[in-house]
Structure 1
């Protein structure tokens, strides 16, 4: 290989590295309004806009990587992604594996049934019934603690909602910020219970002890976004306020 050719190869390698994103951010784009595929077939949502706002305030580049929700933490631990932005709650088990920023959005567990189903009005009524959830979520954990309930874990929440609409399950347990969006679009469904989900709220996640400085910067930047009104604008944009 000539010295000139070696120089060209090295130059392209340097260019490639310089163009690489600082962070590969994993998400599960099936959880509107936090992350979803929009009409332009692009990943969009509150979390995506929040990451973008943080990147501009802190000064980093990023790329969004779409994958299954239950595969996010394994991908983070394996180094396939550098961060998670997927409406993820900092549960005690997750905190053992990864580091979280301060919570940026507080939510609750929402129980949904078919409108007009008078047989289900409380958690006790779910004894012996099938309940659908999204795999790997806080709601799956809560559903498995329900006495006598039979849990159907789905890859995404849309599949859980469709299972309810098609009478394959008796109820769906979902994050309230997501669930209310589906209730607005599906008058044949109704809520029958809402309660705390036991977490501090949604946070961004990073591998254990790998991005402590960045986490501190993100926490400060989120506070700034809340103070200057940018955060409220995002809430309004995605009907989360």
Structure 2
């Protein structure tokens, strides 16, 4: 009888322990479980030079790629990149196709309501780009009667639509799936100007200084952060700690200097000025 009671007690204890384990696992988000498995799955639009793009060897490179790998190393995990078109990237995150978005995602009030966004890791704002052989657009009102290229569903696209109505500017806004296509259209004189993130604009200008010029002041202040699902707040806290370490130890400065020729990772203005 004692032996039977002992066996019964052990069985009850095992069931109780398994129940506790199941409860603990049930409280974890998919992203936390992924980190526990040693992998950070990242959604990225690979057409956004110099942030994330394919080089001549079809390798995924760019500022965000280097940052992602440094972040993963700090977290003690490896990276798994999943490329997706920008107009589907947020749906992909919510559908749990990947853990986070690290793809030049501007921090905005609307996105902070719908997602868990990290502290900023690089400064950013939107600007106008003009061809050097045309009159420069220094303000949005200078776009009167012209055509403007924007990547669809970006903050630049949203701002352009808002400013067009707000300032009463007669400008035709042409939507592109990728900034590569927008700048190709600008070079081919199919459009007159482009509106995009400052780091992207400055990269294209640096590559073609005789062709393009950043013609306006920065129109917004929308630094870039890591985007997680709204419920993944613990994941975001962990990422924020890692971002702070990468800023403090100079890793982010090194990556910024590599891609931008200047440090855009420190002294970031967190006072959002966004046109939504």
- Pick the aligned partner of 2:58 from 41, 47, 55: 41
Give unpaired runs (5+ residues) of structure 1. 1-16
Alpha-carbon RMSD: 2.1
Q: 1:231 Cα deviation (Å)?
A: 1.2
Which whole-Å CA distance do the structure 2 matches of 1:90 and 1:237 have between them?
A: 23
Give unmatched runs, 5+ long, in structure 2: 1-33, 165-169, 263-276
User: What is the distance in 1 between the residues matched to 2:213 and 2:252?
Assistant: 30
Q: Of 25, 32, 47, which residue of structure 2 is paired with 1:30?
A: 47
- CA deviations on 1:139-191 (whole Å, 9 max, x unpaired) are 11111123322211111111111111112111100111011111122212222
Alpha-carbon distance in 1 for matches of 2:47, 2:162 = 25
Q: Where has structure 1 moved over 4 Å in runs of 4 or more?
A: none
User: Which one of the candidate residues 72, 85, 102 is aligned to 1:55?
Assistant: 72
Q: Distance in 2 between matches of 1:125 and 1:153?
A: 19
Q: Which secondary structure does the structure 1 equivalent of 2:189 belong to?
A: coil
Q: TM-score, normalization: structure 2?
A: 0.75
**Paired residue for 1:86?**
103
| Alignment of structure 1 residues 131-170 onto 2, 5 Å | 131-147=148-164, 148-170=170-192
The alpha carbon displacement at 1:87 in A equals 0.4
Give how far 1:121 is off. 4.0
How many equivalent residue pairs?
Answer: 223
Rounded to whole Å, the distance in 1 between the matches of 2:228 and 2:93 is: 7
TM-score by length of 1: 0.85
Are 2:113 and 1:96 equivalent residues in the alignment?
Answer: yes
Q: Which has the larger strand fraction?
A: 1
